Chain A
Amino acid sequence: MQRSATSFAAELIALGEPRANSQPSERGPAVNPIGIAFEGVEKRFGSLVALRNVSLEIRGGEFVALLGANGAGKTTLLRMAAQLMKPTAGSVALTGTGSKSEDARGFIGFVAHTTFLYDEMSAEENLHLFAQLYGLNDASARAAEALTACGLSSRAGSLVRTFSRGMRQRLAIARALLHEPRLLLLDEPAAGLDRQGLAWFGTTLERLRAEGCTIVMSTHARNESLDLTTRAVSLAGGRIERDSGIDGDPAELLAELRSAQGGEA
Chain B
Amino acid sequence: MKGRITLVLVAAALMVFAGYAALYVAPDEKTMHAIQRIFYFHVPSAICSFVAFFVVFIANFAYLGTRQPKWDWLGVAGAEVGVVCSTIVLITGPIWAHPVWGIWWTWDARLTSTFVMWLLYTAYLLLRGFLDDPQRKAMFSAVFGIFAFLDVPLVYFSNRLWRTQHPQPVILGGSNSGLDPVMGKVLLISFVAVLCITAVLITDRYRLERLRSEFDELRFRAESREAERASKIPHAAREARVE
Spell out A's residues near B (CB within 8 Å).
Answer: 45-50, 68-73, 236-239, 241
Contacts of A239 in B (CB 8 A): 239
Q: How far is the CA of A236 from the CA of B234 in the complex (A)?
A: 10
A76 to chain B, nearest CB (A): 10
Q: How far is the CA of A70 from the CA of B242 in the complex (A)?
A: 15
Tell me which of B135, B217, B236, B243 has the highest count of chain A C-beta atoms within 10 A of its own C-beta. Answer: B236
Q: How far is the CA of A72 from the CA of B133 in the complex (A)?
A: 21
Which residues of B (218-243) have their CB < 8 Å from a CB of A?
Answer: 220-221, 234-243
Judge whether B240 and A73 touch: CB under 8 Å: yes
Judge whether A236 and B235 touch: CB under 8 Å: yes
A selection of 12 A-B contacts at a CB cut-off of 8 Å is A46-B133, A46-B220, A47-B216, A48-B241, A49-B241, A50-B240, A69-B234, A72-B236, A72-B237, A236-B236, A237-B242, A241-B236
**Interface assignment of B153: CB less than 8 Å from any CB of chain A:** no
Looking across the interface, which residue of chain B has its beta carbon closest to that of A76?
B240
Judge whether A69 and B135 touch: CB under 8 Å: no
Q: How far is the CA of A70 from the CA of B239 in the complex (A)?
A: 11
Count A/B pairs, Cβ under 8 Å.
44
Overall SS of chain A's interface: loop
A69: which of B133, B217, B220, B237 is its contact (CB, 8 Å)? Answer: B237
Q: How far is the CA of A8 from the CA of B35 in the complex (A)?
A: 64
Do A68 and B236 contact each other (CB < 8 Å), given the known contacts A47-B216, A47-B217, A49-B243? yes
Judge whether A69 and B236 touch: CB under 8 Å: yes
**Interface assignment of B99: CB less than 8 Å from any CB of chain A:** no
Contacts of A68 in B (CB 8 A): 236
Spell out B's residues near A (CB within 8 Å).
Answer: 133-135, 216-217, 220-221, 234-243
Judge whether A238 and B133 touch: CB under 8 Å: no
A8 to chain B, nearest CB (A): 28
A261 to chain B, nearest CB (A): 9
Contacts of A50 in B (CB 8 A): 240
Q: How far is the CA of A50 from the CA of B220 in the complex (A)?
A: 14
Contacts of A49 in B (CB 8 A): 240-241, 243
B239: which of A45, A47, A238 is its contact (CB, 8 Å)? Answer: A238
A47: which of B221, B236, B237 is its contact (CB, 8 Å)? Answer: B221
Looking across the interface, which residue of chain A has its beta carbon closest to that of B243?
A49
B129 to chain A, nearest CB (A): 17
Q: How far is the CA of A1 from the CA of B237 in the complex (A)?
A: 52
Q: How far is the CA of A45 from the CA of B216 in the complex (A)?
A: 13
A236: which of B135, B221, B239, B241 is its contact (CB, 8 Å)? Answer: B239
11 extra interface residue pairs, beta carbon distance < 8 Å, beyond A70-B237, A71-B241, A237-B236: A45-B133, A46-B134, A46-B217, A71-B240, A72-B237, A73-B240, A236-B235, A236-B236, A237-B238, A237-B239, A237-B242
B217 to chain A, nearest CB (A): 5
Q: How far is the CA of A69 from the CA of B241 in the complex (A)?
A: 13
Q: How far is the CA of A72 from the CA of B239 in the complex (A)?
A: 8
B130 to chain A, nearest CB (A): 17
Judge whether A48 and B135 touch: CB under 8 Å: no
Which 7 pairs from chain A and chain B are nearest by CB?
A237-B239, A236-B236, A47-B220, A47-B217, A69-B236, A46-B134, A237-B240
